[in-house]
Amino acid sequence: MLRTVHAASGRGPVLTHRRKDTGSMNHQVPQGPPPPAAPRRSGRNPVIVVLAVIIGLGYGAFKVFDHDKGGSRSTPSSSASAGHKGGEWQVGDCGGPDPDRAPDGYKPYDCGDSHASFKAVEIKDGTFMPESIQCPGGTDLIIRVSVSFGSKSSSGGGIPTKTVCGRNLAGNHPGDPGAGGGQLVKGDCVTSTAKEVPCSGAASDSYKVLDLVKNQNQCPAGTTEPMELTLAIGRPYDVICAAKQ
């Protein structure tokens, strides 16, 4: 018999999944909002490089920072890496809050600057489908770099050009495997409804993530709880290979 359970969304990944077990139970978790559409180009407006910081998998929570290629804003500080012109990021680049655009403003910084708060650990292509990005373990935040055409008031959208996997330079690292934050990766822990939780102090009904694969038959030995997710365009995995802690 099939039983449907609606689970409340939490801080972790907002996924819809079917859990396969001997009781054949279906669990559904509501999906998050779609990524914003790109704005139309206006020939008279400046081109703005926009960096939207996505905290973990909370794709609705953005913090935006940009610099204007059209000259309508002040020149970025000298601590900003020259490699960021045109929105180009490289592994090892750093960024942090922009005091001129508080509380949501951010900009590139030299890694030795006291204002730098994160470092790029991997650079991926830009995409309109946030779920298609899978950053490595240890990623504390995901930065979507995009270009928009218009005034700085439209900096919430744009055409994605790159995605930066960032790691905090100091303090906590919620993206570390098992820490309970960031993207779901091998070594994390989840509930029976696929909500990520810290492995330390997790409840007895939690599971350890052994791998994330496309098909159940790809799960490694030791998997006791393969959780098959419903279809999501662009997501790099469809099954959570899990086992009791």
pLDDT digits (tens, 9 = 90+) for 8-18: 334 344 344 44
Q: Quick one: pLDDT at residue 53?
A: 53
206 and 157 together in one domain: no
Instruction: List 48's β-bridge partners, or say none.
Output: 68, 148
Q: pLDDT digit string (tens) for 91-141?
A: 999 988 777 767 655 678 999 999 899 999 999 888 887 778 889 889 988
Which neighbouring-strand residues pair with 141? 55, 166
Q: Are residues 53 and 164 in the same domain?
A: yes
Distance separating alpha carbons of residues 21 and 217, to the nearest angstrom: 14
Res. 147 pLDDT band, cuts 50 70 90? confident
| Residue 87, pLDDT score | 52
Does some domain include residue 145?
A: yes
Q: Tell me whether residue 210 is in a domain.
A: yes
Total count of domains within the chain = 2
Q: Does a structural domain hold residue 38?
A: no
- Residue 228 in any domain: the answer is yes
222 and 190 assigned to the same domain: yes
Instruction: Confirm whether 40 is domain-assigned.
Output: no
Does residue 42 sit within a domain? no
57 shares a domain with 137: yes
- Strands 159-168 and 196-197, bridge-based pairing: unpaired
Instruction: For the chain, list the strands marked E by DSSP.
Output: 4-6, 17-19, 26-28, 47-55, 62-68, 94-97, 106-109, 118-125, 141-149, 159-168, 189-190, 196-197, 207-213, 225-229, 239-244
* Any domain includes 174: no
- The answer on pLDDT for 240 being more than 60 is yes
Q: Which domain holds residue 67?
A: 47-168
Task: Tell me the mean pLDDT in the region 86-90.
Answer: 70
State how far the Cα of 45 lies from the Cα of 153, in Å rounded to an integer: 11
What pLDDT is recorded for position 106? 67
Q: Are residues 209 and 146 in the same domain?
A: no
Q: Which residue(s) pair with 190 in the sheet?
A: 196, 207
> pLDDT tens-digit profile of 161-207?
888 899 999 888 998 999 988 889 999 999 988 889 999 988 888 99
Chain mean position to CA 173? 14
Residues 60, 26 share a domain: no
Q: Rounded mean pLDDT of 51-72?
A: 37
Task: Say if pTM beats, i.e. exceeds, 0.85.
Answer: no
CB half-sphere exposure, 144, CA atoms < 13 A: 33
